[in-house]
Chain A
Amino acid sequence: MNDISTRPAAEAPPVEGAIVRLSEASLGDVGTIVDVRAESSPDNHGVNLEELQRRLLEFGFVEGARIEVIHEGAIRRDPIAVRLDDMRVALRRRDAEDVYILLDGAKT
């Protein structure tokens, strides 16, 4: 299995509108996780990026997982709750920046 997390940012999938960061997803967005990286806002998580990435992976934010945004908080629509395969997980938008989702219905 190739570790796409080490891929440089410049090669980010450029498909507009189809692939979104989980941090910017809206309520009701459904899709498949295509990439989980360790690169954005290193000082913004309280732990280093590699640790954040491992925690996300451990919770099941892995490439290929099905995801749907099911709830949003009241203030700035944060945190969010997602349905991740067959479980529900809550997280903050700022910790979800490096999770990329290919939205259903989008052409790749």
Chain B
Amino acid sequence: MSETLTSARVALVGNPNSGKTALFNALTGSRQKVANYAGVTVERKEGMITSAAGRNLYVLDLPGTYSLRARSPDEAVTRDAVLGRLEGETPPDVVICVADATNLRLVLRLAMELKQVGRPMVLALNMYDIAQRQGLRIDLEGLSREIGAPIVTTVATRKRGIEDLVAQVDALAAAGQLVGENTWREPNAAEIRQAHAEAQRLVRTYVRPPEHPDTWTGKIDKVLLHPVGGLAILLGLLFVMFQAVFTWATPAMDGIEAIFGALGQFVGAYVSNDLLRSLISDGIIAGVGSVLVFLPQILVLFFFIILLEDLGYMARAAFLMDRIMGGAGLHGRAFIPLLSSFACAIPGIMSTRVIDSKEDRLTTILVAPLMTCSARIPVYTLIIGAFIPNERVWGFASLQGLVMFGLYASGILSALAISFVIRRVFWRGTVEPFLMELPTYKMPEPKSVLRNLWIRAKIFLNRAGRIILPMMILIWVLSTFPYPPEGATQPAIDYSFAGMIGHAIQPLLAPIGFNWQMSIALVPGMAAREVAVAALGTVYAIGDAENNVGALGTALANHWSLATGLSFLAWYVFAPQCAPTLGVVKRETNSWRWPVIMFVYMVALAYTASFIVYHTAVALGGG
């Protein structure tokens, strides 16, 4: 049967931090496809290489794990793919077990588990250059004989050993070695101990400890994990990150806005049919543009996240934050998703997959939209500019800046409070154990950082196309039809479905000080928060409101009381004014239950907050 194997399936399995993804990149280069596994939202990364013998090898990069005994959805995919149980996946012909050559003990235990599965295996000792530099000696022949698998040494980041690895995989595929019996089953405590003892014996016998062990990691950690200094550095890093998100991204964002504006006009000039023109330029182009404009910020944020992750810092950040977030019932690993949510809740919610337990993950998803995403900024800027005097307080601080800070702080504090409540209402009991390897610090590879950034961008664009575009068209329909009657005196949107919905919900919103114009603006504002600015411009008949914030601000200051303005701000801190987020929550949780719960609790919170703010402000004379 062997000669008939013109292609083979190869699975990459390894511990987290073993450089598995770098090896995958070195193997497959740019010929990669990123998708999702059927039914689960775990990223499926596959690439193809052609071996010297002309065989096509389809390489699957499986999520990192310490054991085939899966705990998170990610690890379950690894287990099922290796065992050939994953629906819609052909079981692998060859398994590559990727090991960090400087840290062999845990991966040898994983390798033993993989051997039990009975499929041909190659052990790739990655980061071999670091092992050599440290003076670590490994008896490759002896180790290979004991574990019963060929061993290849690789340096994925320098593409060393890759040809050798491909040749070994190819040889195994060519030998068509009959797949042995699968004797793997979940090990119990005694079996794990036994496997560890065996791994320990292998390490003692075949590995000579390093002559110059890495001492940098310990030295750096003395500073970065210092109970006080470490937290201060983390906060400093976050501050730099946010500065960068808002300053570096601005030119690119202006560029994207200009391009979409020009595109809209260009198309407008060539499409004679009014309705079609409006659909294309006001609905699709303007709509997609209003979401794409966040791409630069998302990329800047992810640039930092990927960099810190590759460096090995993210596990440290989780360590520093675990206790603080644990007080609110959040897992230390929720830190990264919540951080991403400051740019946009969508990538934040997508990155909750790193959290093992379902309950911890859902809690994080539910509170992620409370983090002040960048789409709120245009709304905040508009309202603050219109209602908060540009004064200095205490001699140095700007009052407007303080209000902005207060809005961010209310988002964070409410997220902590809500997760605290969720932990008591939906699922009692404690968060999952926090057990995390603190990897050795490594210099990030520029190429791999860029590649990961590109993958993030593609995922976001894909999402924008599939979820946001239909949503935009729906909202355009609601704000366009039916047409205003002849001789209409009000702006067209007033007569549309959006207008009707706005008028219908206005009595409900009257107690929090909203007039009908605001109620109408909330409907298109469901597409993305900042669309409300354009919508307010439409109802107050200010052309090109987004570029004419001054005029709109003046109009608002004339029409709204201070109490109404503050109430609107409070609304935007909490309200689920973002249909794409709800769509992503549905996708990630595979049920409508959680987006519905999210919508209801956020509306309730927004209403309560606005009510309190409005009536307090009225009582203090701001009505």
Contacts and interface: CB of A to CB of B under 8 A. Distances in A.
B430 A46 contact: yes
24 contacts: A3-B189, A45-B433, A46-B357, A46-B429, A47-B357, A50-B189, A54-B189, A55-B433, A62-B197, A63-B193, A71-B225, A73-B227, A73-B319, A73-B322, A75-B323, A81-B225, A86-B103, A86-B105, A87-B437, A90-B319, A90-B437, A90-B438, A91-B436, A95-B434
Contacts of A71: 221, 225, 319
Interface string A57-99: 1111011100000111111111101000111111110010000
A101 B190 CA distance: 19
A96 to B, nearest CB: 9
Given A59-B66, A60-B105, A74-B227, A95 B433 contact: yes
Contacts of B438: 81, 88-90
B211 interface: no
A62 B203 CA distance: 15
Q: How large is the interface on A (under 10, 10 to 19, 20 to 34, 35 or more residues)?
A: 35 or more
A25 to B, nearest CB: 16
A10 interface: no
B192 A54 contact: yes
Nearest to A52: B433
Contacts of A38: 189
B435 A70 contact: no
A47 to B, nearest CB: 6
Interface of A: 1, 3, 5, 38, 43-47, 50, 52-60, 62-64, 70-79, 81, 85-92, 95
Interface in B45-69: 66-67, 69
Contact of B194 (A1, A44, A47, A89): A1
Given A1-B197, A57-B196, A74-B323, A44 B190 contact: no
A35 B190 CA distance: 12
Contact of A57 (B189, B225, B323): B189
Contacts of A59: 66, 106, 435, 437
A74 B66 CA distance: 29
Contacts of A95: 433-435
B298 interface: no
B227 A72 contact: yes
Contacts of B218: 70
B79 to A, nearest CB: 14
B190 A47 contact: no
Contacts of A58: 66-67, 69, 106, 109, 192
B188 interface: yes
A52 to B, nearest CB: 6
Contact of A91 (B189, B194, B230, B433): B433
B40 interface: no
B437 A64 contact: no
B265 interface: no
A64 to B, nearest CB: 7
B193 A56 contact: no
A73 B105 contact: no
Most buried by A among B196, B200, B326, B357: B196
Contacts of B225: 71, 81
B196 A78 contact: no
A75 B322 CA distance: 10
A21 to B, nearest CB: 15
Contacts of A70: 218, 221
Closest 8 CB pairs of A and B: A74-B227, A88-B438, A57-B192, A95-B433, A46-B432, A71-B225, A3-B190, A90-B319
Contacts of B315: 90
Contacts of B103: 86-87
A91 B438 CA distance: 10
Most B CB atoms within 10 A — which of A3, A75, A79?
A: A79
Contacts of B230: 74
A46 B192 contact: no
B431 interface: yes
